[in-house]
Amino acid sequence: MSQRVRETILRVMMMQVIALLVLWFLQQRYPR
Amino acid sequence: MRGLDWAIVFAYLGYIVWDGLRRARGTVDIEGYFMANRSLPWWAVGLSVMATQLSAITLIGTTGQGATDGLRFVQFYFGLPLAMVILGVTLVPFLHRAKVYTAYEYLERRFDARTRTLTSFLFLLSRGMSCGAIISAPAVVLSAVLGVPLTMSVALIGVPTVLYTVVGGVQAVTWADVKQMVVIVAAVIAMAVVLIMRLPVPLDDALAVAGAAGRLQTFDLSFSLSNPYTVWSGIIGGTFLMLSYFGTDQSQVQRYLTARSVDEARSSLLMSAYWKIPLQALILLLGVLVFLFYVFQPAPLYHNPAHERAMRAAAPATYDSLLTAYTAQTAVRREAATEIATARAAEDTQAESRAIEAFQASEREAAVTRASALAEAGKVVSGPTRDVNYVIPRFVLDHLPVGLVGLFLAAVLAAAMSSIAAELNSLSTATIVDFYRRRVRTDASEAHYLTASKWSTVVWGAFACVVATFAATLGSFLDVVNRFGSFFYGSILGVFLLAMIPRARGRGAFYGLIAGMATVGAVSLFAPQVAFLWHNVIGALVVVAAGLALSPREG
């Protein structure tokens, strides 16, 4: 596996963390 | 629909078909027709992977689900990024380096011919039928909201797709996918912007209203085997589902087999992993914005115009009383929502709590009225009346400005066409490579196989259009086929997992596959409360266990 692919995997995981944090923020800020 | 909207739709259709037809140049053999000579860049393949997965019913059904249910559906995709990383590290290098045409061809090299034939046959059976369903679902909705006959909407989707897929092969399919993905994302963003601009209160306050209605609750941490929309179902069941779909379904495997190299194939899957959850959340958020639009504007009792017509004609008194109740309840809901915004602006927390309670009470009452209205419509039209797929198309036609309506319709067609084209192309590949060239004509010329491949695509396209046209009559039969499909999805993944275990042998793979399918069938029959997402986990694990048990130990 090339260095480029390893870096891409890291970027993918960071994006998921950011997306989940945004969704968590929406749920906490605007509760039922 | 006005002239400009139709002009946008036909300009889109004309461009996609013209661009697809010109891709036929230089294709002289099936390596070019099915594999694009393994020459495509990662970003085009990545967009093609995303466009193939995003069908029209994802676009209109998921936005509708956002409006009626909120963001929680996104949990379904939590396993996708993980599955893509696992596939990128494990299966993709195996398949790409093997220079195979189909995923099932690899199974013959690893195990035996009967395992290849059985898995490829199961793929043809399930995808052949589902291809009809993915045309019919948007065709039925378009036919109802545009007031055109079903055959016309099937033709509008099916004919151009079949044309460019037959003539241009995988090159046409992939490059059309790239453009279709751009059209879809542009339409979603444009609609979100228009909806935000039309909110009568600040966005922050509108989101507080959506939150009060439970539309922004994403995470459900409870553990339930019967609920597919929880964090655990998404991460565990979703990972297995996505591993099965992207790792063993030829309609997806073929996308990344066309990439230039193993690294580019991996990157294409990782691109999809990167964007899937944000894109899916955006699509659901669009639905939430439509919900908010109807909180502040008069909301229709029925989203499907056919239900409204049927009720007015057959039960006008019931219709009138339901409509009066719903109008009154939604008026109270509107007033309470405005009160929430006013209280927030005045930073009056007590008034805000009171307004939220009033809003939630009227929201519950309106939901009960709509449920009974749908039940009444069910008696009149004597069929299922779930109208979640009609929420967005109806909203677009009633409320969006001219031009944007055409863009939305082009996006629905793009979403449908991109999925169908990839499926027709892969159905034809499996038919020719796994059956015709392997068993019927083993020594014909490349020109012969190329012609046969084009005819095979024509036949599958015609079959899909016919199934789509008669989908209403075939309804329960299609349900059976789809349920049957879920029996072997995870089981086929199990065979590919076995392929990576050196000790596994052909006998174990073949009988393991049958044992996996039988177990899932039994679970579906005797424990129907287990959600389908878990079927893939069960199937894959049984195949691996049975496959290893049936593979003779050596030495």
Residue-wise pLDDT for B363-406, tens only, equals 999 999 999 999 999 999 877 778 899 999 999 999 999 999 99
A29 interaction partners in chain B (CB closer than 8 Å): 207, 211
* pLDDT at B552 (0 to 100): 85
Distances (CA, A) of B255 to B122, B421, B453: 19, 11, 17
Whether B483 has a pLDDT exceeding 70, the answer reads no
Distances (CA, A) of B147 to A18, B153, B260, B357, B408: 43, 10, 45, 40, 17
Whether B477 has a pLDDT exceeding 70, the answer reads no
Nearest CB among B89, B214, B218 relative to A1 is that of: B89
Residue of A nearest to B280 (CA): A19
Please write the tens of the pLDDT for every residue from B130-160: 888 889 889 988 998 888 999 999 999 999 9
Phi, psi at B445, each rounded to 5°: -80, 165
Contact across the interface for B216 and A12, Cβ inside 8 Å = no
Residue of A nearest to B271 (CA): A12
Distance from C-alpha of A15 to C-alpha of B282, rounded to nearest angstrom: 14
CA nearest to B328, candidates B310, B356, B301, B350: B301
Whether B31 has a pLDDT exceeding 70, the answer reads yes
* pLDDT at B130 (0 to 100): 86
Band of the pLDDT at B463, cuts 50, 70, 90? very high
Whether B317 has a pLDDT exceeding 90, the answer reads yes
Whether B77 has a pLDDT exceeding 80, the answer reads yes
Distances (CA, A) of B155 to B135, B151, B152, B468: 9, 6, 5, 10
Band of the pLDDT at B457, cuts 50, 70, 90? very high
Interface probe with A: pick from B80, B201, B218, B364, most Cβ of A within 10 Å: B218
Cβ atoms of residues B47 and B255 within 8 Å? no
What is the crossing angle of helices B150-197 and B446-469, to 10°? 80
Please write the tens of the pLDDT for every residue from B195-247: 999 999 999 999 999 999 999 999 999 998 888 889 999 999 999 999 999 99
Distance from C-alpha of B487 to C-alpha of B521, rounded to nearest angstrom: 6
Nearest CB among B212, B217, B270 relative to A12 is that of: B270
- What type of residue sits at position B89? V
* pLDDT at B479 (0 to 100): 66
Contact across the interface for A23 and B281, Cβ inside 8 Å = yes
Band of the pLDDT at B116, cuts 50, 70, 90? very high
- Give the pair of three-digit tokens for residue B282: 């955006």
Arithmetic mean of pLDDT, B515-520: 95
Interface probe with A: pick from B72, B73, B277, B279, most Cβ of A within 10 Å: B277
* pLDDT at B126 (0 to 100): 87
Whether B262 has a pLDDT exceeding 90, the answer reads yes
Residues in chain A: 32
Whether B271 has a pLDDT exceeding 90, the answer reads yes
* pLDDT at A12 (0 to 100): 96
Band of the pLDDT at B24, cuts 50, 70, 90? confident
Whether B553 has a pLDDT exceeding 90, the answer reads no
Band of the pLDDT at B298, cuts 50, 70, 90? very high
B45 interaction partners in chain A (CB closer than 8 Å): none
Mean pLDDT of chain B: 94
Contact status of A9 with chain B (Cβ, < 8 Å): yes
* pLDDT at B475 (0 to 100): 63
Whether B555 has a pLDDT exceeding 70, the answer reads no
Taking the alpha carbons of B346, B351, B353, B358 in that order, is the dihedral positive or negative? negative
Arithmetic mean of pLDDT, B487-511: 94
Q: How many CA atoms lie within 13 A of B266 on its CB side?
A: 24
* pLDDT at B90 (0 to 100): 92
Contact across the interface for A9 and B88, Cβ inside 8 Å = yes
* pLDDT at B25 (0 to 100): 86
* pLDDT at B385 (0 to 100): 78
Residue B406 makes CB contacts below 8 A (sequence gap 6+) with B1, B4, B5, B6, B7, B8, B9
CA nearest to B205, candidates B352, B81, B72: B352
